[in-house]
Amino acid sequence: MKSVPLKKWRIAPWRKGAQWLTTLLTLVIPFIRPGGESLLRLDAGTRTLLFFGAKLRIEEFYLLLIVVLMLVFAFLFVTMLFGRVWCGWLCPQTTLADLADWFEARTRALPALPRGVLRQLWHLALSALVAANLVWYFIDPPDFFGRVAAGQLGAVAGISLAATALVVYVDLAFVRRRFCKSVCPYGRIQLMTMERGTLTLEFDPELKGVCLRCGACVKACPTGIDIRDGLQIECINCGRCLDACRDVFAKRGTGGLIHYTFGPPGADGSRPVNKKALLLGGVLLLLAGLLVAGVVTRREATLKVQRAESGEVKRLPDGSLVNFYSAYLENRGGMSRSFTLEAAPLPGYRVELVGPVRGLELAGNANRKIGFALKLRPMPTSGMQVELKLISGGKVVATSPLPVAVQ
Count Cβ atoms below 10 Å from residue 68 Cβ, excluding itself: 11
Judged by beta carbon, residue 249 or residue 339, the one nearer ligand SF4 is 249
Judged by beta carbon, residue 41 or residue 228, the one nearer ligand SF4 is 228
Provide the strand spans (E) within 215-269. 258-261
- Residue 162 sits in the site that holds ligand SF4 (CB under 6 A): no
Choosing from 227, 374, 386, 390, the residue that interacts with ligand SF4 (CB under 6 A) is 227
- Residue 194 sits in the site that holds ligand SF4 (CB under 6 A): no
Choosing from 91, 245, 329, 404, the residue that interacts with ligand SF4 (CB under 6 A) is 245
Instruction: Give the Å distances, CA to CA, from 85 to 81, 169, 203, 273.
Output: 9, 25, 17, 20
Judged by beta carbon, residue 49 or residue 248, the one nearer ligand SF4 is 248
The DSSP symbol for 363 reads -
Judged by beta carbon, residue 165 or residue 248, the one nearer ligand SF4 is 248
- The answer to whether the beta carbons of residues 396 and 389 sit under 8 Å apart is yes
Choosing from 35, 142, 215, 371, the residue that interacts with ligand SF4 (CB under 6 A) is 215
- Residue 68 sits in the site that holds ligand SF4 (CB under 6 A): no
- Residue 251 sits in the site that holds ligand SF4 (CB under 6 A): no
- Nearest in space to 44 (alpha carbons), one of 147, 161, 140, 113: 140
Choosing from 240, 259, 332, 337, the residue that interacts with ligand SF4 (CB under 6 A) is 240
- Residue 184 sits in the site that holds ligand SF4 (CB under 6 A): no
Contacts 24+ apart (CB under 8 A), 242-247: 242/11, 242/201, 242/217, 243/10, 243/11, 243/12, 244/216, 244/217, 244/219, 244/220, 245/216, 245/217, 246/7, 246/8, 246/10, 247/10, 247/216
Judged by beta carbon, residue 91 or residue 353, the one nearer ligand SF4 is 91
Choosing from 161, 168, 248, 327, the residue that interacts with ligand SF4 (CB under 6 A) is 248
CA triple 221-166-113, angle to 5 deg: 70
* x/- letters, 85..104, toward ligand SF4 (CB under 6 A): ---x----------------
- Residue 221 sits in the site that holds ligand SF4 (CB under 6 A): yes
- The answer to whether the beta carbons of residues 19 and 92 sit under 8 Å apart is no
* x/- letters, 11..30, toward ligand SF4 (CB under 6 A): --------------------
- Residue 199 sits in the site that holds ligand SF4 (CB under 6 A): no
| Positive/negative CA dihedral, 87, 92, 98, 100 | negative
- Residue 241 sits in the site that holds ligand SF4 (CB under 6 A): yes
Judged by beta carbon, residue 25 or residue 214, the one nearer ligand SF4 is 214
Give the integer Cα–Cα distance in Å for 125 and 102: 14
- Residue 238 sits in the site that holds ligand SF4 (CB under 6 A): yes
Return the H-helix or E-strand segment holding 367.
Answer: strand 367-377
Judged by beta carbon, residue 225 or residue 341, the one nearer ligand SF4 is 225
Select the span of 93-101, 112-120, 244-252, 268-276 touching ligand SF4 (CB under 6 A): 244-252
Q: Coil, strand, or helix at residue 13? A: helix
Judged by beta carbon, residue 6 or residue 113, the one nearer ligand SF4 is 6
Choosing from 25, 68, 162, 212, the residue that interacts with ligand SF4 (CB under 6 A) is 212
Give me the residues paired with residue 48 across strands: 43, 57
Query: Alpha helices, DSSP H only, in 38-184?
Result: 61-82, 85-89, 92-107, 112-135, 141-149, 155-170, 177-178
- Residue 235 sits in the site that holds ligand SF4 (CB under 6 A): yes
Judged by beta carbon, residue 7 or residue 33, the one nearer ligand SF4 is 7
Judged by beta carbon, residue 212 or residue 396, the one nearer ligand SF4 is 212
**Which residues, 6 or more positions from 85, have their beta carbon under 8 angstroms from its beta carbon?**
78, 79, 199, 237
Would you call 397 exposed, middle or buried from its count of C-beta atoms within 10 A (0-12, 13-18, 19+)?
buried
Residues lying near ligand SF4 in the complex (CB under 6 A) are found at 88, 201, 203, 211-217, 220-223, 225, 227-228, 235-241, 244-245, 248, 256-258
